[in-house]
Amino acid sequence: MTDTLKSINPATGELLGEVKITTSNELTTIVASARLAFKTWRQVPLNERADIIARAFSALEPKHQELASLMSQEMGKDKRRSMGEVSGVIYGAPYSVQDVAMAVKPVDVGGNTQMQYLPLGICAVISPWNYPLAMASNLIIPSLVAGNAVIFKPSEETPLVANEMVAALNEYLPPGLLQIVHGAKDLGQKLVESDVNLIAFTGSMLAGKDIMKRAASGLKRLIMELGGNDPMIVMANANINAAARFAVASSFENAGQMCISTERIYVDERIADAFEKRVTEIASQYMVGPWNDANANIGPLINVTQFNKVKSHIDDAVAKGAHVLLGGPAQQAPYITPTVIANIKPDMLLEQEETFGPVVAIARYQAIDEAISRANDSVYGLGAVVFGAQGADIVAQQLEAGMVAINQGVGGGGNTPWVGAKQSGFGYRGSVEGHRQFTQVRVLSK
């Protein structure tokens, strides 16, 4: 049995590097070290904690290029997207730190009573590979600002870039406050079962359910984003060009490996021909290629398992009568070429599951109630989008998702939560309420 994780360039199969897998004994030591660091860190005044964390993330700036290049090679996304992700982490951190600090300040509520937001203890942060620094930072920052210590388990697909970020941050953070562990599913399970107080997780629904079971005996706090199968409804009065552009961009972004990718589209049959034609025209302009190909805008899928899953969804749709408008079953790993499939049905995997690949999947509807029903017929409920003019707001109100948007992507503006409904989430991050989930609420009456 190997004692290292090997990081592989998904475009070339090249070995980029290795990291040592954390043993059970090492994990026990790391948890104990985190507990000691927490006892000191929780006593540091909130404004000082915020300043230390902001400085640590600002110190990543000299490593901007290095982190972006490593991310591209390790995960597969092109350099422009990696640069954007790293920029968001570096330059967004001071604002995130300030937002969290404001949210967890004590609040006087009258009658000599105060609401306090105290640190919980140790937060286990388990993050995915598709946005390896952004997703991690979104959980690490509120954990630390709130006064917790953090044990960070990155995806086994992207250990190197996570290592580099943590090493740079730890030049400015107190010893033991932020520690990284490496391993596959079994290590993640051991971390959840260890002496931690909170698990902040982004990943699959099945993994989230497993975490919930393992955390139950200790009633550990959970903040989990568990993927999506996001629907898009295109009404008869929609701007066809705008809707088509969004459909393709949202389906293909990050090679479709994005939790809020548009996974299934329901278009009014009166405009379906024009919509499908425009989608195919736009999609045909996309090209696959490695991260350093200036002409490529769809990178490789992260590994063979993910490639096989996406291809199986395409094959299943074709076998059940879907119409291939672009791309289709003839695929060669590690890339899925731009694919547009029409006439998807409720029994197809493209409609039932999260595909997580560059596929635009389209169905036609006659009545808007049919579109709403199919959009809502899912255990997932992360995001949902409707494109249309008059009546679009009425449709949006009926969509069962934590984030809904009209004529644009989900996520909103300002300090809003990133939240899933149904089985797409348990707890949430972002916003005052989200930041406070990283704390223990205490009512102090004097």
Give the chain's domains with CATH numbers. Answer: 4-226+421-445 (3.40.605.10), 230-406 (3.40.309.10)
- State yes or no: cis peptide before 10, omega within 30 of 0: no
Q: 3-class SS at 273?
A: helix
259 catalytic per annotation: yes
Q: How far is CA 269 from CA 195, 411, 412, in A?
A: 55, 28, 29
Nearest to 305 by CA among 181, 204, 200, 189: 204
* CB neighbourhood size of 46 (10 A): 17
User: What gap in Å lies between CA 18 and CA 8, rounded to an integer?
Assistant: 9
The confidence score (pLDDT) of residue 110 equals 87
Q: Which of 247, 241, 235, 243 is nearest to 359 (CA)?
A: 247
Decide if 337 contacts 331 (C-beta within 8 A): yes
User: Quick one: which of 31, 37, 30, 33 has its CA closest to 148?
Assistant: 37
User: Taking the CA of residue 407 as centre, how many other CA atoms within 13 Å lie in the half-sphere pointing to its CB?
Assistant: 13
Per-residue pLDDT tens for 26-64? 999 999 999 999 999 999 999 999 999 999 999 999 999
Beta strands (DSSP E) in 375-423 are 383-387, 403-406
Q: Of 85, 225, 276, 351, which residue is the catalytic one?
A: 225
**Average pLDDT over all residues of the chain:** 97
pTM of the prediction? 0.97
Task: Quickly state the pLDDT bin for 168 (edges 50, 70, 90).
Answer: very high
pLDDT confidence of residue 2: 64
Per the CB < 8 A criterion, the answer to whether 238 and 389 are in contact is yes
Look at residue 274 and give its three-state secondary structure.
helix
Q: d(Cα 68, Cα 87) in Å, to the nearest integer? A: 9
What pLDDT is stored for residue 412 in this prediction?
A: 72
Per-residue pLDDT, averaged over 333-346, amounts to 98
pLDDT digits (tens, 9 = 90+) for 408-431: 999 877 789 999 999 999 999 999
Q: Which of 259, 276, 353, 354 is catalytic?
A: 259
Of 225, 157, 222, the C-alpha closest to 5 is: 157
Model pLDDT, residue 411: 87
Q: How far is CA 25 from CA 191, 352, 438, in A?
A: 12, 41, 27
Alpha-carbon distances of 332 from 282, 311, 335, 443, rounded to whole Å: 22, 9, 6, 59
Question: Which residues touch 164 (CB under 8 Å, ≥6 apart)?
Answer: 63, 66, 67, 70
Q: In the chain, pLDDT over 90 holds for what percent of residues?
A: 98
Could you tell me where the beta strands, DSSP code E, fall in 279-356?
Answer: 323-326, 339-342
Least confident of 199-203, 243-247, 326-330, 408-412: 408-412
The CB-side HSE value for 379 (13 A sphere, CA atoms) comes to: 9
pLDDT tens digits, residue range 106-122? 999 988 999 999 999 99
Give the model's pLDDT for residue 396: 98
- Output Rg (C-alpha) for the chain, integer angstroms: 22
135: helix, coil or strand? Answer: helix
| Catalytic status, residue 123 | no
As a whole number, mean pLDDT of residues 62-67 equals 97
Q: Is the Cα torsion angle 207, 212, 215, 216 positive or negative in sign?
A: negative
pLDDT in tens, 263-308: 999 999 999 999 999 999 999 999 999 999 999 999 999 999 999 9
Annotate 154-183 with b (16+ C-beta within 10 A) or e (fewer). Answer: bbbbbbbbbbbbbebbbeebeebbbbbbbb
In whole angstroms, how far apart are CA 87 and each of 1, 81, 84?
A: 38, 10, 5
In this structure, what DSSP letter does residue 277 have?
Answer: H
Residue 1 has pLDDT above 70, yes or no: no
Average pLDDT over residues 145-149: 98
- Closest by CA position to 270, among listed 345, 362, 367: 367
77, pLDDT greater than 60: yes
pLDDT score at 49:
98
Residue carrying the six token digits 């996570």: 162
- Spatial strand order in the sheet of 107-110: 107-110, 113-119, 439-445
CB 5 within 8 A of CB 21: yes
Mean local confidence (pLDDT), 176-185: 98
pLDDT computed for residue 46 by the predictor: 98
